[in-house]
Structure 1
């Protein structure tokens, strides 16, 4: 239905309602999101908004049918949508510019210093627990000093490899990039030249003697940016991008700390006073207690984390309102899931077991499946002798085609040495060299080595006799037919209204 008039004068001039599907409004911005996103995949190039609007209305009708069927209420469905949203919102809750600048700073530092690139190392390593006894520690140090002295006198690759094999808790060489291993390990490894061996040194894991096997140059910033960001956050236990975003949001939402309440909390460990205000709402010591119960840490660290979580939680609630693109991304994912589910119920599950429906559809549209050139439907028989091939061909003539392969297997190939090799099907010119030779009079085909005598049995046909010969095409066509019937039913039982005046303004406002 096309509509206009006073009933639509109330819509927002900024983002007017473009259509109503089953009573639900679709804003112009939502339609534009889908239209512009799908534009790249239009098979025929440009599709006018007027034509796309009909497709989009059908899409919305199917989603509405899925909602009516309650498919959006399943726990697994809701969890999928929530997990997808959680992946998307990370970028909205992080100041990506701060992260990239920090990653660039670290990269430049790595490139300028000895930590550039990667080093492949082998090491003699003894693990030392944190509560190692003094006696065990002295014994480990003495052992490593003895190994180092031996290596200093025997500076051959074989000597170092032998010590690794005999004494080390870690036997395999490995690559080291900056921010990947403990600082103590990296400081030593990156200072060494290829082939050089370190003196014994400690890390939090134990005691090491390291040998650098080879070095690689520093990759480009774009290649290592993500890895640098992750490693820096892991090592320092903080995400500066999130912290920077929280500081921005504090200003945006009027964050105001209450010094009296915070001081009392830090001094006594508890308070009922207001700790801070955010977006006009007071957050008190009671709110903090509930958070702190699930976040064991010192009181100051708990308070900082509580403030950060409160700011991020509030922003999380506001994201879809602030960023329509995010809202439409999540909604699109949800709708596509629902579309797949309802289509599976209405179409796919019907096609699978519906052999009779496929055959009936094929019979009704048989003329659609005629071939432009004749094909050969039959069997190709390769035999060990001319007599065997002749016998097999004569025998198969008395049997239905669907029994041919079993007859060959049980009659001619039952013994230890098969006598016939058979190929059965429908062949176009060029599909099989023997059919081309014997049926379509093409090039002479070279005989098979073990089965040098060949004959064919069958006939030339202009079209398939059974839908299974062109099953993929029939399934696709039958599916499209069922979908058209479904859409017709949805259109008959639902109401679609499109505001043509608003539709004319798509991507032009």
Structure 2
């Protein structure tokens, strides 16, 4: 009896020690699914090498990435036929690269198309299929009668589960065969008859096609090939990356999401005080020309045009009339960044006239307090807008999953990405 008790105690202690050892290898769990310290370090070391971010500051970015992957899996996107095909294509390309230690991508056909689709569940009823066919036949009849494809398409917006984003380049090999077969028969801007696929029923319009390599960047291939040692780890990295990209395409504001200038302008107006400048700026152009007479003529031409067209106008004027030979530099100039602007706009410092174009003038305005529009600080506004969207999306994702973060383990990740 005593032996049995000792054996039970031994087994219990072993189980506890094993569970403790396993927990030391986990940085966080999403709905109970563990993300290992090794995977965290794998990504962290790569990011840290670029910008020196600390493990604590990197955690939200990585957690956001893993939540997107978890959400995509929850929606079943990893089971979509075209997703599995893309994985197979990439695995084949990267497999060849791993074996040959060469990152050369074969050229393949890419297509850009627009679609009108009615997506159907995998186990669709006969009644649902008949109704979908009836609706798509009506669409096809309207198109043949001269209806505008874009106008009709607005009545059939793609739902979140559609794998294809309209108007984006995609390798034809990554389409389900029903799509690729129809697109192969179409001329540019022509549309197909209705057809079924594993996704539903569709009419597609070919916008364009080209030959290109896949993936787009050999650097991306090198990153995946070089960073993933084991086959299982390699495939997970690939699958997770594609799932996160799928998620981004379906959520505005993600890295691949669509952000309009109006979105940025609205954000800028709401946060204008965040972009106030400590030092005054000049918005306009610095023009170097031959003499004052040439300057007068160039000013008249440039005043009628938007700032973005000044360089083109100066080039054309220089080519048409040697007496108007000139060069222009446009943009935003902070005081102290350009000697010509400092002297002519802010009345400080000095400059030495150019020997080839000795007369210099400026055209534009001084901005003392801050930018006039988001275009003046476009990169900063884009960055901040993305971060604000990511933050709201992150909070929404957090509501859908149970997250357990192992803070003690997180503290063991040092600046080199190693424990």
* TM-score, reference length from structure 1: 0.42
TM-score norm. by structure 2 comes to 0.50
